Structure 1
Amino acid sequence: MSKKTIRPYDGPAGGWGALRSVARHLLEQQVPVHGARTLLAANQPDGFDCPGCAWPDRDHTSTFEFCENGAKAVAAEATRHRATPDLFARHTVAELAQYSDHWLENQGRLTHPMRWDSASDKYLPIGWDEAFARIGAQLAALDSPDRALFYTSGRCSNEAAFLYQLFVREFGTNNFPDCSNMCHEPSGTAMKAQLGVGKGTVQLRDFELADAIFIFGQNPGTNHPRMLGELRRAAQRGAAIVSFNPLRERGLERFADPQDKREMLHNGSTRISSDYFQLRIGGDLAAAKGIAKRVLELDAQAQRDGGERRIDPDFIAEHTQGFEAFAADVAAESWETICAESGLSRAELERAGDIYAGAGSAIFCWGMGITQHKHSVATIQMLCNLLLMRGNLGRPGAGACPVRGHSNVQGDRTMGIYEKPSSAFLDRLQQVFGFEPPRAPGHDTVGAIQAMLDGRCTAFFGLGGNFATATPDTEATHRALRRCELTVHVTTKLNRSHLVHGRDAYILPCLGRTEIDLQDNGPQAVTVEDSMSMVHLSAGINAPADPMLLSEPAIVARLAEATLGARSKLPWRWLVGDYDRIRDLIAQVFDEFGDFNRRVRVPGGFHLPNAAAERRWLNPEAKALFKAHAVPTDLPVHRARAAQAQPVFNLATTRSHDQYNTTIYGLNDRYRGVFGERRVVFIHRDDIAMLGLQAGDWVDLESLGEDGVQRIARRFLLVEYDIPRGCLAAYYPETNALVPLSSFADEARTPTSKSIPVVVHPHRRATDAGLQSARDIGHVRVD
């Protein structure tokens, strides 16, 4: 375990620190000597797609198409550690629940299907046939299919996701809570209404052509490290890179490419951001509107002077609707409000506007720092307004780039994992498969938790992921899962969700992305879709962690057989004998996947069409829409500050550098200077003094939800950091407990995990009975 220290980190992102980190994780996970060969197969034509992020591959034949955090993900999956039935024989579930998420992860790969035994409070081994028979019988016995929930993680393949949605819809429900509901749902919601598509419009080659790249609410150094290579090349050729982020993030400042021998030899690095604007948490909409205001002012001046226009009137006239109303709304918004809510000065915003107005082509990127606010949809539409103003859609070097996280989260949605499917999609399912799919919308993630709490849903099946830990309002989510009659999780590793279970509970271990998937017709490859709509093959090269493991498609097929029985119209077991058969069905349902099996075997795969990138607008208006939005001044944090005498902070949850989503690889956050500790809160030095405290003190965080429920996360270490005053940042999942279930994005219902009004108290030991376990106050076993 790392020694607990807080010390500044002055080096660049990447570089020797990244290489040392990769070596350390390979050793800690006891990855066999072929571990290096495993890494070299990542993102290769005859290898596997990295199980980490969804950033696309620049060159699908490059020697090194992996990054530090991708290497951690591969090492975690290729580990020699095993969580065998012996582990569960030694520990009750209550005992396991006292350990940290990091400890649970490090027990290694699960090897056998397990069923919880209420008498002993232990998971006991169960055979596959019996497990499927029991689970299928319970699902079939429900008085309505809508009483079951079917969650999906973004790491599962297109083939598994397609079979999963097919099974669940033949079963009779659209209850598909999905990890998309907690991350980029606002991106799809905003862009679909405004541009007619819910996906990014750029391809990787556009980064080679952009004159300016604007980055909002994203930390690529930790969350998408391979993106730094593109930003580095853009910076070196002179492109402006303009970053908006409340925290100073090393990956947005400097980067040393481990593949650049000269840079590594001389301990050099490349400056990434040409301009770095530290706006307040949640101030992105105001900042974007300020940029728009500046561009319009420059355009008005250009017209007066007879100069070159700063907007694109021809594009606006031919391709858009609503510009006049939008421009009037921007003009009416005062600079005073814009500056106050963004936390940036007028000079800073004018500087950003000047860069944008002077760029021939521009890309706008954003991450979850944008999507997890109440006003997320409005913010994304304001960013798209900026693109529309200068015609930066549907031409080289320009476009919208929502940078999604998990490796196939976009592909899962493409395959039909969606609680609100379109009538056209359901009609096609009926036409191809001959059954009537359900038409009523299902539950998203927030709705699923509410439905379990009030008893409307009593069965939960999770295809991957860590639902109990990823979701907001931890106490409510745990209570909801414990109310279920049945909980089932398909997984590779032990995690918290397996310990927060229903009255009957199962763990079904599956193959990982790096492992050989042997079916009746030989080794199989799956497909995935990256953030830029490239679809390509992924084939594992390692022997399975245990002969007992099944693939995700095989688990779905056998569950479908056990649940649907003779009434099913599909030959489930035959389909998983050769995944080409599944892809043939996908091609029958989705026109853009025509000739799927041939096209995906081209090295690098193929690109799915994007109508907005072709300047075709598929919304009812057949135009791209300008969307006017006022700068919000009545958000929960505004109301909390008005009601409280004590200082109210706006807290954003964030990842450490040693984690990916809810998976904790280690206890260090190298770039932020935190080592051996996760219960930290980043805060401005003047705010520490205002509270009468010192860096290194322990505090409790109390969220100020508007539902009257007290939520406290205890024992966090104050860490002085370069962050705007009034703003805090802390890691999730430790602070998920502070996010009210009732607080979510307008229109998209994404939890507001990046804007939580909180007050800070000196730490006191908890005594109330409402705490569920020792981990709520930070005293968790890690041995």
Structure 2
Amino acid sequence: MRTPPDPQPRHDPGAKPAGGMPALLSTMRQLAREKAIVPGTAALRVLNQEHGVDCPGCAWPEPREHRSSFEFCENGAKAVAAEATGKRATPEFFARHSVEELRHQSDWWLEQQGRVTQPMILRDESRHFVPISWDDAFARAGEALRNLENPNQAAFYTSGRTSNEAAFLYQLFGRMLGTNNFPDCSNLCHESSGVGLKQTMGIGKGAVQLEDFEKADAIFIIGQNPGTNHPRMLTTLQAARRRGAEIVAINPLRERGLLSFVHPQEVGPTLTGKGTEIATVYLQPLPGSDVAVLKGMMKQMLDAERRDRGRVMDHGFIRAHCTGYDELVADLDATPWTQITEQSGLTQSEILKATEVYIRSRATIVCWAMGLTQHENAVDNIIACSNLLLLRGNVGRPGAGPCPVRGHSNVQGDRTMGIDHTPPPWIEALEREFGFRAPRDGGLDVVNAIPVMADGGIRFFMTMGGNFLSASPDTAMVGEGLARIPLSVHVTTKLNRTHVSGGGEVMIWPCLGRTETDLRAGGEQFVTVEDSMSVVHSSQGRNRPASPHLRSEPSIVAGLAKAALPDGGGVEWDALVADYDRIRDAISRVIPGFENFNSRVREPAGFVLRNTAAHREWKTETGKANLVITPTPSLRLPAGQLRLFTIRSHDQYNTTIYGLDDRYRGIKQARRVILMHADDIAERGLKAGDWVDVRSHGADGREREAPRFRVVEYDVPKGSAAAYFPEANVLVPVGSRDRRSNTPSSKMIPVTVQPARAGVDVVGADERLVHRAAVEASNLTGAAV
């Protein structure tokens, strides 16, 4: 019943550009594999179209005018195929497979079982999930919530795929219950962006629109792999390159999509495989050295400023809009070049190539993703990007500004709707609208929730989508915590590892997918989302639901609220979810910027939320944009250790595994691989293809182990290595995080590798690391418990 270990991986990186014919063929294969040719094709026809279906993948925006007839990418098509799949995880499936059997399967195998068709429950001491009616499911969850000694014994996790309407109701219910415990996927990815941008510019969002990429002279892509994580961004970068914009890539890995790209809709290049060069400068610093690189650029700008008699910095902008300039200059002068080059692994001349592009540019956009946000100094990384932009006035003018590229399709909208472990600024308006008193104390985010769970402090845990266990750091502790929760509830479309890892009662509540028709008493409904550039627009599914037993996320929240709150807390939940216009009317009265929500969102391209920084309005304590000193961290590791950073395969989206290939990196039929520099492999007496065990070394003194990874020789900086998540998440200590954003440092994990011990089963080893009872019985000496 166990999934066999990955076979010997095939590694052939080649030199083909991203996109093109392989992307088209991959899309068709995925539709066929999921038995989703008809429903998948139907969904793709309206994907990312006006009044169509918003892609359930990434949050990259659509053009507000002149959209293509095929406004989706390969990974978007995979997400649609996975949702429109013809495979079903029925009650008969759960009757055939015990929970113990399911726990021994890989994440990929669980994903491949298809859509869950009915509410299911795993009762205490039972070996199988069995069906439960919606009424009984709500009653059981409501009873558990009413019996809590304290509402803070409940926690409500949210995935970025949750719609605005569902997220608003979800946070309303949790706060009416009496808690701000809203651990959210934002805590694991872009929390650092929000914290850093608020400190420097007064708003935790990017300040550019898609149209700005048509006006930028230079675009910096830092710590981001668009080819795998946001493929539609490559068409934007291709267009910018063709009109002469310069693109600087700063990333430890040389990523195919940042080197060359073929738009699959261009017949000639697709047939010939001749791509457009993307990056004009490509720097590969050591992981964790982004502040050093950016300070190096600013030092070189300062040198040029002095040579060129004050014509490099935008002094008019700085005088009118910034504080902290003199202090920042003093810090740059005091930072020695030896510190910058030693930390980054780059030479001054290499950094100068990027600096010269920046100085030449009249308008620059700086983009980043989790390569910057998942470090112990992640907020400093974001502040350093802000400093770079502010010094030349590259905020609040066309073609310029910060652009954090968020992952999931509505992760930014969920935060706007109040999915936050701190009370939102409009909390009093929420109270007036619904007639209750909301809690003011801060709640639990993901990192703080994990040890509370492990100590037994959470008695009810609910996930609205996502895969909490696989997405979180310190997988062993998360598994231990899940096993101690008396009742867990998971709203989902498909099965994942979190659902089979609970120790008490577990319920799986199947919901409608983004591509499916949502028919309520008020007729067919649509939901709304906010993309990575603050555009709010509608999404309406067209496909027949995978099962008649599925419910929408808003109706699930309403059903639980009615069961848990006395008299529903005085809220007409049934009326709200009968017609989602009523939810949007409430949002328009509560959240600033959403006035006339229902009429504005019915415009063909939706509407843009006003961004104060983009208008050079600074909502900071100083009333100006703040230039802030960022210390250059000391990142020397003991001899023999490597800087490991986690990455996605091209055949996955977040923790959802679509297949075992990583086409752009030339790795086939393998996920348990570690990408290493040739010299690091040789120094350890290894060779490509060897099995190794990987151990991390956290500040808490505990070793964590990820056993049996295959060595792959790859173009990474010497002294560093890369591995896929979620397989490598077990190596990330929960205490290794940015202290201001609390985001895990998954991009800078000190590790050692050594030849694997014989006889350790891969899946069994992972299982032992996840489940406490099995850990205690295992022979994995030194593994975290």
Whether these two folds match at TM > 0.5 is yes
Deviates more, 1:567-576 or 1:381-390: 567-576
Query: 1:58 is matched with which residue: 38, 59, 63?
Result: 63
Q: Find the aligned partners of 1:235 and 1:144 in 2 and give their Cα distance.
A: 57
Query: 2:293 is matched with which residue: 287, 294, 307?
Result: 287
Q: Find the aligned partners of 1:310 and 1:167 in 2 and give their Cα distance.
A: 52
Query: Structure 1 counterpart of 2:456, which letter?
Result: G
State the secondary structure of the residue aligned to 1:702: strand
Instruction: State the match for 1:27 in structure 2.
Output: 32
State the secondary structure of the residue aligned to 2:366: strand
Give 1:255-334 correspondences, 5 Å limit.
255-303=261-309, 309-334=311-336
Q: Report the identity percentage.
A: 53
Deviation at 1:527, TM superposition (A): 0.1
Contact map agreement 1:2 1:668 (CA 8 A) in 2:
no
Question: With structure 2 as the length reference, what TM-score do the two structures score?
Answer: 0.96
Deviation at 1:706, TM superposition (A): 1.6
Deviation at 1:765, TM superposition (A): 3.4
1:35-65 deviations in Å (ceiling 9; x for gaps)? 3221111001131100000000025642011
Deviates more, 1:739-748 or 1:394-403: 739-748
1:416-448 deviations in Å (ceiling 9; x for gaps)? 0000124x4221112222110001000000111
Query: Structure 2 counterpart of 1:717, which letter?
Result: R
Query: 1:226 is matched with which residue: 232, 257, 269?
Result: 232
Deviation at 1:602, TM superposition (A): 0.6
Instruction: State the match for 1:48 in structure 2.
Output: 53
Query: Structure 1 counterpart of 2:407, which letter?
Result: G
Q: Which runs of 5+ in 2 are unaligned?
A: 1-5, 779-785
State the secondary structure of the residue aligned to 2:565: helix
Deviates more, 1:658-667 or 1:448-457: 448-457
Give 1:547-562 correspondences, 5 Å limit.
547-562=548-563
Instruction: State the match for 1:513 in structure 2.
Output: 514
Query: 2:694 is matched with which residue: 685, 701, 705?
Result: 701
Q: Find the aligned partners of 2:739 and 2:362 in 1 and give their Cα distance.
A: 34
Contact map agreement 1:32 1:80 (CA 8 A) in 2:
no
Q: Which runs of 5+ in 1 are unaligned?
A: none
Contact map agreement 1:249 1:671 (CA 8 A) in 2:
yes
Query: Structure 1 counterpart of 2:317, which letter?
Result: F
Distance 1:369 1:766, change over 3 A: farther
Distance 1:73 1:3, change over 3 A: farther
Distance 1:119 1:631, change over 3 A: closer
Q: Find the aligned partners of 1:245 and 1:164 in 2 and give their Cα distance.
A: 37
Instruction: State the match for 1:163 in structure 2.
Output: 169
Contact map agreement 2:529 2:537 (CA 8 A) in 1:
yes
Instruction: State the match for 2:179 in structure 1.
Output: 173
Q: Find the aligned partners of 2:655 and 2:759 in 1 and give their Cα distance.
A: 25
1:584 aligns with 2:585: yes
1:675 aligns with 2:680: no
Contact map agreement 2:201 2:618 (CA 8 A) in 1:
yes
Instruction: State the match for 1:457 in structure 2.
Output: 458
State the secondary structure of the residue aligned to 2:248: strand
Distance 1:774 1:566, change over 3 A: closer
Give 1:30-429 correspondences, 5 Å limit.
30-59=35-64, 61-303=67-309, 309-422=311-424, 424-429=425-430
Query: Structure 2 counterpart of 1:746, which letter?
Result: R
Q: Which runs of 4+ in 1 moved over 6 A?
A: 766-770, 774-777
Contact map agreement 2:16 2:273 (CA 8 A) in 1:
no
Query: Structure 2 counterpart of 1:270, which letter?
Result: T
Query: Structure 1 counterpart of 2:243, which letter?
Result: R
1:570-621 deviations in Å (ceiling 9; x for gaps)? 1001100000000000000012000000000111100000000000000111
Q: Find the aligned partners of 1:52 and 1:679 in 2 and give their Cα distance.
A: 24
Instruction: State the match for 2:10 in structure 1.
Output: 5
State the secondary structure of the residue aligned to 2:136: helix
Deviation at 1:117, TM superposition (A): 2.9
State the secondary structure of the residue aligned to 2:716: coil
1:268-309 deviations in Å (ceiling 9; x for gaps)? 210000010011111111000001011111011111xxxx70
Contact map agreement 1:221 1:251 (CA 8 A) in 2:
yes
Deviation at 1:767, TM superposition (A): 6.9
State the secondary structure of the residue aligned to 2:570: coil
Q: Find the aligned partners of 1:87 and 1:40 in 2 and give their Cα distance.
A: 32
State the secondary structure of the residue aligned to 1:165: helix
Contact map agreement 1:3 1:675 (CA 8 A) in 2:
no
Deviates more, 1:452-461 or 1:358-367: 452-461
Query: Structure 2 counterpart of 1:459, which letter?
Result: F
Query: Structure 1 counterpart of 2:50, which letter?
Result: P
Deviation at 1:119, TM superposition (A): 4.0
Contact map agreement 1:210 1:363 (CA 8 A) in 2:
yes
State the secondary structure of the residue aligned to 2:129: strand
Contact map agreement 1:170 1:437 (CA 8 A) in 2:
yes
Contact map agreement 1:526 1:538 (CA 8 A) in 2:
yes
Query: 1:773 is matched with which residue: 753, 763, 767?
Result: 767
Q: Find the aligned partners of 2:428 and 2:146 in 1 and give their Cα distance.
A: 25
Instruction: State the match for 1:656 in structure 2.
Output: 649
Contact map agreement 1:148 1:459 (CA 8 A) in 2:
yes
Q: Find the aligned partners of 2:28 and 2:248 in 1 and give their Cα distance.
A: 33
Instruction: State the match for 1:726 in structure 2.
Output: 719
State the secondary structure of the residue aligned to 2:414: helix
Query: Structure 1 counterpart of 2:363, which letter?
Result: S
Instruction: State the match for 2:615 in structure 1.
Output: 614
Distance 1:2 1:112, change over 3 A: farther
Give 1:730-745 correspondences, 5 Å limit.
730-745=723-738
Q: Find the aligned partners of 2:41 and 2:136 in 1 and give their Cα distance.
A: 39
1:365-390 deviations in Å (ceiling 9; x for gaps)? 00000000000000110110000000
Contact map agreement 2:95 2:129 (CA 8 A) in 1:
yes
What RMSD over aligned residues (CA atoms) do the two structures have, in Å? 1.7
Give 1:450-489 correspondences, 5 Å limit.
450-489=451-490
State the secondary structure of the residue aligned to 1:33: helix
1:754 aligns with 2:747: yes
Contact map agreement 2:485 2:504 (CA 8 A) in 1:
yes
Paired residues in the alignment total 765
State the secondary structure of the residue aligned to 2:352: helix
Deviates more, 1:74-83 or 1:352-361: 352-361
Question: With structure 1 as the length reference, what TM-score do the two structures score?
Answer: 0.96
Query: Structure 2 counterpart of 1:190, which letter?
Result: G
Contact map agreement 2:9 2:689 (CA 8 A) in 1:
no
Instruction: State the match for 1:538 in structure 2.
Output: 539
1:182-216 deviations in Å (ceiling 9; x for gaps)? 00000000001110000000000000000000010
